[in-house]
């Protein structure tokens, strides 16, 4: 099971958290599953670490996906 957390505008039309039994090999597959365009993703975390969409994902991983955001 992997946990996928969506934030900000990525929550529109979607839930905040998904716990899925499906196997995803990497971020690209997750984006595909949720119909999220890669240009709408600014930060992709695997277990809190910045990752790219090709980094491998394994069982029990926690994924967090953010669109472009700000700071202060």
Pairwise CA distance, residues 45 & 49, whole Å? 5
Q: Does 50 bind other proteins (CB under 8 A)?
A: yes
Whether the Cβ atoms of residue 9 and residue 40 lie closer than 8 Å to each other: yes
> Residues near 37 by Cβ (< 8 Å), separated by ≥ 6?
31
Question: From residue 20 to residue 39, what is the string marking binding to other proteins with x (rule CB under 8 A)?
Answer: --------------------
Q: How far is the CB of 70 from other proteins (least distance, A)?
A: 4
Q: Which residues bind other proteins (CB under 8 A)?
A: 5, 7-9, 11, 16, 42-43, 45, 47-50, 62, 64, 66-72
């Amino acid at each position: 099971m992997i946990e996928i957390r969506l934030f900000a505008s990525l929550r529109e039309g979607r839930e905040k958290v998904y716990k899925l039994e499906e196997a995803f090999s990497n971020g690209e597959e997750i984006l595909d599953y949720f119909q999220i365009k890669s240009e709408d993703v600014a930060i992709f975390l695997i277990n809190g670490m910045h990752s790219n969409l090709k980094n491998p994902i394994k069982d029990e991983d926690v994924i967090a996906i953010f669109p472009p955001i700000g700071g202060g």
